[in-house]
Amino acid sequence: MSAAAVERIAHDYLEVRGLVVDFDGFHAVDGVDLTVTKGDLRFLIGPNGAGKTTIIDAITGLTKATGSAVFGVELLGMATHRIVRAGVGRTFQTASVIEDLTVLQNLDIAAGMRRRRLTLLRARKSTPPEVTAALETIGLAEHADKRAGTLAHGQKQWLEIGMLLVQDARLLLLDEPVAGMSAEERQQTGELLQHIAQTRTIVVVEHDMEFLRSFADSVTVLHQGKVIAEGSVAEVQADPKVIEVYLGPSETFAPAAERPPKERPKVTGPSRPVATAPEKFRPPRKITPPTGGADA
């Protein structure tokens, strides 16, 4: 097996074990175990203060933690820039794009992270293929020369996801990606994430139950820094602990009837099946961004 194939297989899943984040004696994250595989669009939910965003902060090096978080390599203790180079990318609740630059320029700068220093000084004769592919994937090809600051709210979020794609992030950690979006933008974002999840590992922190019902493959529920339930949307909805601490007896987020149950992939460690070759990136059908802004 080639070294490239071994590396890609090693990055097929995120494995977190015994994760603890301590703030002066308060365990914001308290012994969390989490395994997320490529192709499993995982949602993290829970009440405010449950530790969802803190887990992402720990995995990406923004918060000190103990335990283990492995994505090909052990991430805990690594510098943030080395975590990015290990293929880990994240978004925040507010899109981090350079508003005075165009969509194309934002993507080109993000793609430059993996270019050699001397090539950054040379004039570009053409658009890099990874940037062209990302523009099509996020549905902003027709807006490539538009200033990022003029984009609608949802389009800015798509641009930020595109910036992770051109960096070849294979683990995407998304913090409330549809907050403030219109219904149409949420639908298009869900379709985008489903497509990306075919070849990458994705974890979504979210409070929008309708969005979760429509697009989650599996759900992990947190409360007071601990995992209290995990499974399909239907399994989690029926869990008595989840009903007690998060949903309440009258709340429901059962999966949409038209979505067939999806078997969750299993991880067995180094002996798990080996892919024959890395998958090529295939842009999905064109996603047409809305012309208006987000819902009020």
Per-residue confidence in pLDDT tens, the chain, 296 aa? 555 544 555 558 999 999 999 999 999 999 999 999 999 999 999 999 999 999 999 999 999 999 999 999 999 999 999 999 999 999 987 888 999 999 999 999 999 865 554 454 455 567 889 999 999 999 999 999 999 999 999 999 999 999 999 999 999 999 999 999 999 999 999 999 999 999 999 999 998 989 999 999 999 999 999 999 999 999 998 999 998 888 665 555 444 444 444 554 444 444 333 333 334 434 444 445 444 444 43
pLDDT at 227 (0 to 100): 97
Q: What are residue 229's DSSP bridge partners?
A: 221
CA distances from 121 to 112, 115, 117 (A): 11, 10, 7
pLDDT of residue 92: 87
Residue given tokens 């080395």 in the structure block: 82
The residue out of 136, 163, 190 marking a domain boundary is: 163
| 158 and 107 housed in the same domain | yes
Do residues 159 and 179 share a domain? Answer: no
Helix (H, G, I), strand (E, B) or coil at 135: helix
Q: Is 265 among the domain residues?
A: no
Model pLDDT, residue 17: 98
pLDDT of residue 233: 94
Secondary structure (3-state) at 151: coil
Assess whether 230 and 177 both reside in one domain: yes
Q: How far apart are CA 175 and CA 52, in angstroms?
A: 9
**Closest of 88, 74, 168, 176 to residue 128, by C-alpha:** 168
Task: Fill in the amino acid letter for 149.
Answer: G
- For residues 8 and 68, state if they share a domain: yes
Question: Does residue 26 sit in the same domain as residue 124?
Answer: no
Q: Let me know whether 159 and 175 are in one domain.
A: no
- Helices (H), ranges, the chain: 3-10, 52-59, 80-85, 103-111, 117-120, 129-137, 153-166, 183-196, 209-215, 233-237, 240-242
Is 179 part of any domain?
yes
* Domain identity same for 98 and 236: no
Q: Could you give the CA distance from residue 275 to residue 265 in angstroms, rounded to a whole number?
A: 14
**Does one domain contain both 8 and 46?**
yes
Looking at residue 72, its pLDDT comes to 94
Q: DSSP characters for 30-75? A: EEEEEEEETT--EEEE-STTSSHHHHHHHHTTSS--EEEEEESEE-
User: In whole angstroms, what is the distance from residue 217 CA to residue 259 CA?
Assistant: 10
Please report the pLDDT score of residue 250 as a whole number: 52
For residue 272, the model assigns a pLDDT of 38
Structural domain tally of the chain?
A: 2
37 part of a folded domain: yes
Residue 291 lies in a domain: no
The contacts of residue 162 (CB under 8 Å, 6+ apart) are 107, 110, 134, 135, 137, 138, 140
**141 part of a folded domain:** yes
Q: What pLDDT does 280 receive? A: 40
Q: What does the H/E/C string look like for 85-105?
A: HCCEEEECCCCCCCCCCEHHH
Determine the pLDDT at residue 124: 59
Range of the domain at 82: 1-87+170-259
Is 58 found in the same domain as 12? yes
User: Rounded to whole angstroms, what are the CA distances from 96 to 149, 158, 163, 164?
Assistant: 11, 11, 10, 11
Please check whether residue 269 lies inside any domain of the structure.
no
Do 120 and 70 share a domain, yes or no?
Answer: no
pLDDT for res 127: 86
Residues 216, 73, single domain; the answer is yes
Question: Residue 294: inside a domain, yes or no?
Answer: no
